[in-house]
Amino acid sequence: MKILLITDLYPILEDRTIPNVIEDFALGFKAQGDSVFVIRPNFLFNSILRGHKIVPECEITRNGIRIYNKNFFLPFLDKNTYFLDDSFDLIISHMPSGHIYASLINQQLKLPHISIVHQSDWTVLSSLKYSIYFKNRLKKALKNSTLIGARNEFLAKKMGANFILPSFVDSEKIVEKKTFYKDKLKIITLSKLIKRKNINLVIEALKNVDFDFEYSIYGDGKERSKLEKLIKKYNLENKIKIYSHIKHDLIWDKLDENDVFILPSINETFGLSYLEALARGLIVIGTKGTGIDGIIKNNENGYLIEPKIQEIKEVLEKINSIEKEEIAKKSLLNIQNYTREKIMNKYNEIIKKIL
């Protein structure tokens, strides 16, 4: 199968502002013998607003996959496909820019087209600031799609998607059993340090807890200096430490050194880091109504909260006081449903039905 993958959220350089999740799906197709060619329709003004690195128009190969970076000063008016030197069986698009550009060039290609929607798509459709230009074009693009997949069940309900496409972990990263620390609660966050991640609320919640803890935060971003000032304000320098972003292959050891993973962010499409923490048997705390809700069932294989200081404090105190092994056991059992093999097999079954 030859797949044309269209999205502006595909890593091309070492750019930490772009997650690897869409590349993971591309590599999943490649591993099973499919051919993938990526187009990045890069609206320059949008890239600047999102803090992404600006890459010249070019073609490169990354991890064995060809990527064409196509820059636009005006959003997606050029439907020329001169750089496509092959025929394809299927278009898959992610993110608003990807859907709009895919729909535009598919007027010529006339291929089956699967649109995978993220939180950004719902933001464009529901926010006034996008109503002048992007909203109607995105609506039209999604209407022209053969199928719509959603990255979580909440987006699926909001946008009337045909199926759900969650993230996955490699099965070899799933441990058989988790051992917890006894003398203190060891808490970890792996995340970009930006406002919507609500890491400041975790620090506020920990300032008055009645148990011993260590909280390690790994990541970089605009909020780092504010978080450091907050830690200093509450004299928590010995208990809460912020470390720079670490390479992905090093996170497993860091997760194994901790008991609890917490990320009470809002507008989270999915968050691969939740799955990775579940795979190592950590007690995971996420936010109600976001991508991880539905995979985590509250009080069963983790905890779901509103991003409020008091709720965070209460759930951490509860976790500290209970036997954690039973929750970890359920987490490790449930994560078996989200391995690369199982998710890619389900994805392939959907694709085969429309080809």
pLDDT tens digits, 248-286: 889 999 999 999 999 999 877 677 899 999 999 999 999
| pLDDT above 90 coverage of the chain, percent | 70
Helices (H), the chain: 21-31, 44-50, 95-109, 119-126, 134-144, 153-159, 199-206, 224-233, 251-256, 272-279, 309-321, 325-334, 340-354
Other C-beta atoms lying within 10 Å of the C-beta of residue 111: 18
Is residue 231 scored above 90 in pLDDT? yes
pLDDT number for residue 44: 74
pLDDT tens digits, 122-137: 989 988 877 777 899 9
Question: Which two structure tokens, joined as six digits, stand for 239?
Answer: 């208990």
Is residue 194 scored above 70 in pLDDT? yes
pLDDT number for residue 56: 85
Are 263 and 197 within 8 A, CB to CB?
yes
Are 230 and 195 within 8 A, CB to CB?
no
pLDDT number for residue 116: 97
Are 292 and 284 within 8 A, CB to CB?
yes
Is residue 5 scored above 80 in pLDDT? yes
Is residue 80 scored above 90 in pLDDT? no
Dihedral, 231, 223, 284, 28 alpha carbons, nearest 10: -150
Residues 203, 252, 279, CA angle at the centre, nearest 5°? 90
What is the pTM for the complete model shown? 0.89
Are 217 and 243 within 8 A, CB to CB?
yes
pLDDT tens digits, 293-326: 888 989 889 999 999 999 999 999 999 999 999 9
Is residue 214 scored above 70 in pLDDT? yes
